[in-house]
């Protein structure tokens, strides 16, 4: 009973400390999102609003082949506490890292895939010192515009949405909130705040809900209060709330009355005082007296709640007690603290001087809990390879962490199933295993914490074929047919002056027999290529999935920059293309 009460108290504290903005969101808004076709943004919004037991089947595959397609899927999975390395049909994390080229992520012509790439990789537990993270961070820094903002593309005009995303990515990658780069970005946003307190996509445009939402999230990530960003008694939060419709969805701008799921998702994240990433996974390893108890990527905010969350993944029990010094981890499984033996923790192999409940995890932090005495040192096992032929030498090295560096650990015992090897003065040993098979290898030494475990394959994989047979008696289903129709063949934005904006919407119906993944391409005059937004996003960032027999309204917006000088009639094309998205 004690454990149940303690978990309830911890959960209550997190609810009120992390999600005070829930008062801004009503039940009908959540129900509106639940009624929509699920996508990555809606999943993130529902998690931000405290929803659990969500259907995540739509995240088992990535629709599309761009870096941003993997990035938003990873962000949705980590928001829900799922590891993108193992949840889907392939390793989404590794796939995203494969987009690394020319010292940045994705296309060298785009910046938005670097913003979201940093956020996605770190959300999945990648260290901020990782080369991809640091190179992409520098790529973003080197492409800041003179006005302090960023565009979605290299050399493009700054906009508020991508500037907000850049701020969040740079903060996640370790740039300080008082760094001149960040200060310049804040100045850009403040200089483009409208008189109504809201934000436009481009300078001089009408305030819209998407821009409000992105900026509000960035403000919260900066540790500031968006209510303090006031102008003429208005602020971005109140302006965003003014764009909510009676059905609790959010429209784009005040002059229209159509609600959009994607804009509602952005708004929910902002109004619950959340920002990106919604959650982070952290590497958790728990070493008991006689065995490893947990080795997993776990969603967590503190060094104590990672133990609670890890129990679901690794299947152990635990007991947390309230003491005069605060919350205390007393027991995992049957191993209970007594005398000078107890549960102690390290962060990145260093022992903090505060309680685990008070230690807030930073991006990329690794957490190690062990059952033992104060003063035991962490160890690390490294194998030259994870595959070796029977009878061949395999170099192994064992090190311990002390004084902020790894040092060789002599006389450590390396276990490879029933075989035992001992390290020399350089912490090294040659492993020679004669029998083929898979071996779990780890190291131990008295007064030190058991090392990480490495799976070693000795010999070639062994396989056997099993014959399969089936007789198909039902008619073969028809071949996939990709087809869709759009209710309009032209959008006329009318007569606009510099600084003005207008919007319209298209209804796209999936008339084929397979689910489709859809993107848009804008061509023609530069006014369209640089300033068209689709569903609140710059058009290169837009994508959607439409189920068979379903339809989707897509918001088409155009903002004419206040500095625009080209007059006259301008023409262009918006081309939608689709591929099959069947699982």
Average pLDDT of the segment spanning 195-224: 95
pLDDT at 487 over 90: no
Name the residue ranges covered by the structural domains of the chain: 2-271, 281-373, 379-458, 484-580
pLDDT at 582 over 80: no
pLDDT of residue 8: 27
Give the model confidence (pLDDT) of 343-386 as tens digits: 999 999 999 999 999 999 999 999 999 999 999 999 999 999 99
Q: How confident is the model at residue 17 (pLDDT cuts 50, 70, 90)?
A: very low
Range scoring the smallest mean pLDDT among 62-76, 144-158, 514-528? 514-528
- CATH number for the 281-373 domain, one of 1.10.10.60, 3.40.228.10, 2.170.130.30, 3.40.50.970? 2.170.130.30
pLDDT of residue 557: 86
Percent of the chain with pLDDT over 70: 93
- Nearest-angstrom CA–CA distance, 287 and 291: 6
Strand ranges inside 300-392, DSSP E: 318-323, 326-332, 335-336, 341-347, 366-373, 379-383, 387-388
pLDDT of residue 462: 56
Tell me which residue of 268, 451, 465, 485 sits closest to 368, measured CA to CA.
Answer: 451
Average pLDDT of the segment spanning 443-448: 96
Tell me which residue of 442, 412, 444 sits closest to 425, measured CA to CA.
Answer: 412
- Nearest-angstrom CA–CA distance, 42 and 72: 11
Angle at which helix 180-191 crosses helix 160-172, to 10 degrees, equals: 160
CB 235 within 8 A of CB 181: no
Domain 379-458, CATH class in plain words: mainly beta
- 455 burial type by CB count under 10 A (0-12 exposed, 13-18 middle, 19+ buried): exposed
Which residues make Cβ contacts (< 8 Å) with residue 15, sequence separation at least 6?
A: 50
Give the model confidence (pLDDT) of 225-238 as tens digits: 999 999 998 999 99
CB 278 within 8 A of CB 51: no
The CATH code of the domain at 484-580 is 2.60.40.10
pLDDT at 11 over 60: no
Average pLDDT of the segment spanning 508-533: 84
- Of 275 and 546, which is predicted with more confidence? 275
Q: How confident is the model at residue 221 (pLDDT cuts 50, 70, 90)?
A: very high
DSSP annotation string for 221-237: HTT--GGGS-BTTB-HH
- CATH number for the 2-271 domain, one of 2.60.40.180, 3.40.50.11270, 1.10.10.10, 1.50.10.20? 1.50.10.20
Domains 379-458 and 484-580 belong to one CATH topology: yes
Is the model's pTM score more than 0.85?
A: no
pLDDT of residue 474: 66
């Amino acid at each position: 009973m004690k454990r149940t009460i303690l978990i309830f108290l911890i959960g209550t504290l997190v609810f009120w400390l992390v999600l005070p903005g829930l008062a801004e969101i009503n039940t009908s808004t959540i129900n509106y999102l639940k009624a929509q076709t699920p996508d990555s943004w809606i999943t993130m919004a529902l998690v931000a609003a405290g929803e659990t037991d969500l259907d995540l089947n739509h995240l088992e595959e990535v629709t599309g082949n761009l870096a941003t397609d993997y990035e938003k899927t990873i962000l949705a999975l980590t928001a829900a506490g799922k590891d993108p390395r193992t949840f889907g049909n392939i390793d989404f994390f590794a796939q995203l890292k494969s987009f690394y080229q020319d010292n940045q992520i994705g296309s060298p012509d785009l910046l938005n895939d670097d913003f979201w790439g940093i956020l996605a990789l770190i959300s999945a537990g990648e260290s901020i010192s990782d080369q991809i993270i640091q190179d992409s961070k520098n790529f973003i820094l080197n492409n800041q515009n003179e006005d302090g903002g960023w565009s979605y593309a290299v050399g493009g005009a700054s906009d508020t949405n991508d500037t907000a995303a850049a701020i969040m990515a740079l903060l996640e990658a370790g740039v300080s909130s008082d760094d001149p780069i960040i200060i310049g970005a804040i100045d850009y946003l403040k200089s483009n705040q409208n008189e109504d307190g809201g934000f436009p996509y481009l300078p001089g445009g009408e305030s819209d809900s998407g821009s409000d939402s992105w900026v509000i999230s960035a403000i919260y990530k900066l540790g500031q209060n968006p209510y303090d960003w006031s102008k003429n008694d208005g602020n971005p939060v109140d302006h965003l709330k003014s764009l909510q419709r009676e059905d609790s969805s959010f429209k784009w701008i005040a002059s229209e009355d159509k609600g959009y799921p994607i804009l509602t998702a952005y708004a929910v994240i902002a109004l619950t005082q959340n920002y990106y990433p919604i959650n982070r996974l952290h590497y958790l390893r728990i070493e008991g007296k006689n065995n490893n108890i947990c080795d997993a990527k776990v969603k967590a905010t503190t060094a104590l709640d990672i133990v609670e969350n890890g129990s679901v993944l690794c299947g152990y029990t635990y007991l947390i007690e309230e003491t005069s010094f605060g919350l205390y981890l007393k027991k995992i499984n049957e191993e209970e603290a007594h005398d000078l033996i107890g549960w102690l923790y390290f962060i990145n192999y260093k022992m903090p001087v505060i309680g685990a409940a008070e230690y807030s995890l930073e991006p990329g932090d690794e957490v190690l809990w062990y059952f033992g005495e104060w003063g035991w040192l962490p160890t690390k096992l490294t194998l030259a390879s994870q595959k070796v032929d029977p009878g061949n030498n395999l170099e192994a090295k064992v090190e311990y962490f002390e004084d902020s560096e790894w040092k060789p650990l002599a006389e450590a015992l390396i276990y490879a199933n029933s075989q035992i090897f001992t390290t020399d003065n350089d912490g090294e040993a040659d492993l020679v295993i004669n029998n083929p098979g898979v071996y779990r290898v780890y190291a131990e030494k008295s007064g030190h914490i058991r090392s990480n475990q490495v799976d070693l394959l000795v010999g070639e994989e062994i396989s056997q074929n099993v014959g399969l047979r089936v007789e198909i008696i039902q008619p073969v289903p028809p071949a996939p047919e990709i087809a869709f129709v759009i209710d309009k063949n032209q959008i006329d934005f009318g007569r606009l002056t510099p600084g003005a904006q207008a919007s319209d919407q298209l209804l796209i119906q999936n008339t084929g027999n397979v689910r489709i993944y859809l993107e848009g391409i804008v061509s023609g005059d530069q006014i369209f290529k640089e300033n068209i937004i689709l569903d609140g996003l710059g058009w290169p960032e837009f994508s959607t999935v439409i189920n068979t027999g379903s339809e989707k309204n897509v918001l088409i917006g155009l903002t004419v920059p206040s500095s625009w000088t080209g007059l006259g009639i301008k023409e262009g094309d918006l081309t939608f293309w689709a591929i099959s998205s069947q699982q």
